[in-house]
Structure 1
Amino acid sequence: MSDPTLIWKTATEIRNLLAKGEVSPLDLLDALETRVSEVEPKINALPTLCFERARNAAKTLMEKPAEERGTLMGMPVAIKDLEAVKGVRTTFGSPIFADHIPDKSDIVVETLEKNGGVVYAKANTPEFGAGGNTFNEVLGTTLNPWNQKRSVAGSSGGSAAALASGTAWLAQGSDNGGSLRNPASFCSIVGLRPSPGRVARGPSGLPFGNLPVVGPMARNVADVAMMLDAMAGEHPRDPISLASPLRSFSDAVREQRLPKRVAFSRDLGCTPVDPEVARICEEAALRFESLGVTVEEAHPDFHDVQDIYQALRAEGFYMSRRKLLEEHRDKLKPEVVWNIEKALDYSLEDFTRVQLARGAYIQRAVDFFETYDLLLSPATCVAPYPVEQRYVAECDGHAFDNYVEWLTMAYAITLTGFPALSMPAGFTSEGLPVGLQVVAGPRGEADLLSAAGLLETAIGHAGAVPIDPI
């Protein structure tokens, strides 16, 4: 019989129980399978399950001595449906791949399994990760556990909803325009976008692309750090991948290193933000002052974020999806078609201008972090919106030009290449979650996680999940 009390423990607590031999990976899978049967019909976060595969992997792992079972020691992990898992249906949220079963796993899955992760489910995502609402024609719509009439955002919406509702302790996500951070904000969990290369990804047809990354999602900062320890490192098939640091990210959280001076911005100077969301995030950021940290209102110069990001996003979609458009146009959702074809609006001179502008953009951000240790802002411009809306069309009286512009708070940071996370900041008057974005300087994951762990305690919302969907 499964132990339902395990569901409510943190991933760090579960990992400690594994280390002591007080539970086994099979116990954890039993608890999850029971929880999934109770919760999944309400929210549809993990539409593809592979418990038999997971139990076989767990049994193989248990044959090894405890010290050889890796960082995660048999912790179950949910994988976003954009990453291939060998022998498991992987749809990318697209009718084109509705019956696709890969014969090889992606690098991030191999890395997690090598380090003791046990894959038991695929988490829902919008088609090819395009969009800030998690729905697709193959696997349906994921509903927000906090309010099933609201969106979980996207594109790592299934991962976030599973964490919030107790069907996952750890979940993998990916991020380009905020696909880790937006669902974390909407579900009151923690999602980390690491520096490009921190977590090896692919194999990819665009191996030097640095807008998309993969990263960890969990219920609190310490759990995210533990998962990042199991994901980070070099891989020969990812030419921009980075070596693992000498000290673990979990150690960084335990060290509790405070920043000296941080900046807060309500809107990063480049997007409208719902006033209630801005107020909640400002109050959360100012909790740093109680820890003796100077908090000032400031942000880098992001004035040309739209010009740069929209062009680079379109270029990436065109290079990676143009053949699908030629062969399966009728099976692609309109937002994906639009994003691929948008690249045709740009000339070589336009792309030259944009690349040079991004170089200047990054240098301005580097200059900013010579003054400030961290930058804090709302993770999203709104709280969870009605799930039937495909995307947010307007905010605070401003009408957005396209289906991704409402995600500006996130992709303004994506363009810098700096690590950023979303963590729980509070709740609206309707009881809807709001996330605080915390950004560090170049390759600053350790400092980011250490400071975020302290701020998490000061804010006091880390224990808010998991919840029973309402």
Structure 2
Amino acid sequence: MQVTDDLCRATAREHIDLLAAGTISARELLQLHLDRIDQVNDRVNAVVSIDRDIAEAAADASDARRAAGQLRSPLDGLPTAFKDLEDAAGFRTTRGSRRFADNISTSDSDVVARMRGAGMVPIGKTNTPEFGTGSHTINDVFGPTRNPYDPTRSAGGSSGGAAAALAAGMVSVADGSDMGGSLRNPASFCNVVGFRPTPGVVPMSPGGDLWNTLPVKGPMGRTVRDAALLLSVIAGESPRSPITFPGDGSRFARVAEEAPDQSILAGLRVLWSPSVGGLAIDPAVRRVLEERAVPELRAAGATVIENSLEAELAGIDEAFRTPRAHGYAAGFRDAVATTPEILAPELVANTTWGLSLTATDLARADELRTQAFARFAELFTEVDVIAAPAATVPPFPVEERWVREVDGVPQNDYLDWMRAAWRFTPLGGASMSVPCGFTDEGLPVGLQLVTAPRRDEFLLRVAAAFEERVPAWREAPAILG
């Protein structure tokens, strides 16, 4: 099935055009997506806590605004669902945890408030592992989210519900968040786009540690320009967030509106890192990227050089793991002390380790992070973009909690196999996964693109040009066949 046969898998920009032309109303567009949810969600489990009354009221309000010529934004009327880590007034917000299984939000996070303020139509929540811990979306409240391209496989995580919902056409665009690859990994697994912006582009508020630059929130879409479209709404300064950049997201709207410019690839200096610092990479992943991505970049006029980045990424694992564990200790120490038996083992292990850290451990991690940043700041004077695998493996069996082995190399814990994404997190730049192709088994593979901090708009333009040459996103998932 190609996208032209399926309105639910059309681009968000096409949805906007249909609404503007009066070809379809927001209520009718919502109903199409609700029908799709009824058709496939029981086999995928991507959208949870669905509230049809809230969705229908929002769609009707959008239609009334359109009739009165008072649209709030170009996204007015687009159906979406919020990641279940986000507070959204009136919706059940579990955070994937039995501790919050019956929690109903009474207020909106900044991201949710901006999406609602833009006139978007919320259907429900997208599934996530407990408190977003891990790159496999499974929890004790809703169970696992399955991959629309092969329901026996993982959809990735922690934004796995959002990625699977997009792939199956249950929503038009979706929000997500990323520390260890939670936007990039599920995007790679589900053949969609996941964009991790520079910290400060999108507000993290409200939250427990608003100064932390490891976690960010960002957009997901079936295409790069759709992701840019959502970013234009959720980006911008917030008085509740101390590190947000001044201004709004209008610069990202321009990326969404303009046709991709292939000339941006001509002369582009690309560093291809097939192993992201010497990691084991599944041969099927590497084969797709080296047969599709690298030749296409060169054909477009880019200069592509190969570098393992082993020297540049020295010490980066400690620079990520230590502050991450410290963050878990700060956020979950009380929960682990009182109800460890109902928490995911990964969350308990991270928190316990974080509580054992010393000031010396934290100081050393800061020093290693600073040194790595300096090396990459110098590297980005010589290259424009780093290209690499977004995930070390294709989607793995859904019954496995995490990947134990990659290309014959044992993985010590559930963070090890995710390193292709999170090794770039401490560097503070923008990064994303864009669909690139499929393994012989028909499993999606994403190309990760990384730039220096504050080059988000540039990265989106590069990715949009690449996507036009490699439109792998158009391949619909098997679950719709």
Aligned length: 467
1:42 equivalenced with 2:43 (yes/no): yes
CA distance in 2, matches of 1:420, 1:251: 19
- In structure 2, which of residues 253, 258, 264 is the aligned counterpart of residue 258 of structure 1? 264
Cα distance, 1:171 vs structure 2: 1.0
Q: Contact (CA 8 Å) 1:420, 1:440: kept in 2 or not?
A: yes
| 1:72-92 Cα shifts (integer Å, max 9, x gaps) | 122111111111110110100
1:278 equivalenced with 2:278 (yes/no): no
Cα distance, 1:159 vs structure 2: 0.6
1:366 equivalenced with 2:343 (yes/no): no
Q: Contact (CA 8 Å) 2:387, 2:447: kept in 1 or not?
A: yes
AA aligned to 1:281 is L
Q: Quote the sequence identity (%).
A: 39
| 1:115-156 Cα shifts (integer Å, max 9, x gaps) | 222211201111111011111111111111111111111111
AA aligned to 2:264 is L
- Structure 1 residues 197 and 66, CA, compared in 2 at 3 Å: closer, same or farther? farther
TM-score (norm 2): 0.94
CA distance in 1, matches of 2:208, 2:17: 39
Q: Contact (CA 8 Å) 2:9, 2:167: kept in 1 or not?
A: no
Q: Contact (CA 8 Å) 2:234, 2:249: kept in 1 or not?
A: no
AA aligned to 2:21 is K
Q: Contact (CA 8 Å) 2:225, 2:255: kept in 1 or not?
A: no
Q: Contact (CA 8 Å) 1:19, 1:66: kept in 2 or not?
A: no
CA distance in 2, matches of 1:245, 1:442: 17
Q: 1:391 maps to which residue?
A: 402
Q: 1:198 maps to which residue?
A: 201
CA distance in 2, matches of 1:368, 1:67: 48
Q: 2:17 maps to which residue?
A: 16
| 1:286-345 Cα shifts (integer Å, max 9, x gaps) | 311111111111255112121111111101111111111122211101111001001133
Q: Contact (CA 8 Å) 2:152, 2:397: kept in 1 or not?
A: yes
| 1:14-52 Cα shifts (integer Å, max 9, x gaps) | 011222333221111111111110111111111221221
- In structure 1, which of residues 125, 147, 152 is the aligned counterpart of residue 128 of structure 2? 125
Cα distance, 1:467 vs structure 2: 5.3
Q: 2:275 maps to which residue?
A: 267
Question: Structure 1: where are the runs of 5+ without partners?
Answer: none
TM-score (norm 1): 0.96
Farther-moved stretch of structure 1 (226-235 vs 90-99): 226-235
Cα distance, 1:246 vs structure 2: 7.6
Cα distance, 1:67 vs structure 2: 5.1
AA aligned to 1:344 is L
AA aligned to 1:394 is E
CA distance in 2, matches of 1:467, 1:233: 37
Q: Contact (CA 8 Å) 1:199, 1:233: kept in 2 or not?
A: yes
- In structure 1, which of residues 175, 186, 200 is the aligned counterpart of residue 178 of structure 2? 175
- Structure 1 residues 313 and 198, CA, compared in 2 at 3 Å: closer, same or farther? same
Q: 2:212 maps to which residue?
A: 209
- In structure 1, which of residues 352, 377, 389 is the aligned counterpart of residue 363 of structure 2? 352
| 1:386-416 Cα shifts (integer Å, max 9, x gaps) | 1111001111222122111111011111111
- In structure 2, which of residues 66, 71, 79 is the aligned counterpart of residue 68 of structure 1? 71
CA distance in 2, matches of 1:358, 1:271: 19
**Secondary structure of the equivalent of 1:108?**
helix
**Secondary structure of the equivalent of 1:136?**
coil
1:312 equivalenced with 2:312 (yes/no): no
Question: Structure 2: where are the runs of 5+ without partners?
Answer: none
Q: Contact (CA 8 Å) 2:150, 2:478: kept in 1 or not?
A: no
Q: Contact (CA 8 Å) 1:29, 1:51: kept in 2 or not?
A: no
AA aligned to 2:177 is S
Q: Contact (CA 8 Å) 1:19, 1:73: kept in 2 or not?
A: no
| 1:431-470 Cα shifts (integer Å, max 9, x gaps) | 1111110112211111111111111121231311365346
| 1:349-382 Cα shifts (integer Å, max 9, x gaps) | 1111111111111121111111111100010000
Q: How does 1:57-206 map to 2 (within 5 A)?
A: 57-64=58-65, 65-66=68-69, 68-206=71-209
Q: 1:287 maps to which residue?
A: 296
CA distance in 2, matches of 1:247, 1:53: 28
Cα distance, 1:281 vs structure 2: 1.3
Q: 2:26 maps to which residue?
A: 25
| 1:142-179 Cα shifts (integer Å, max 9, x gaps) | 11111111111111111111111111111111100000
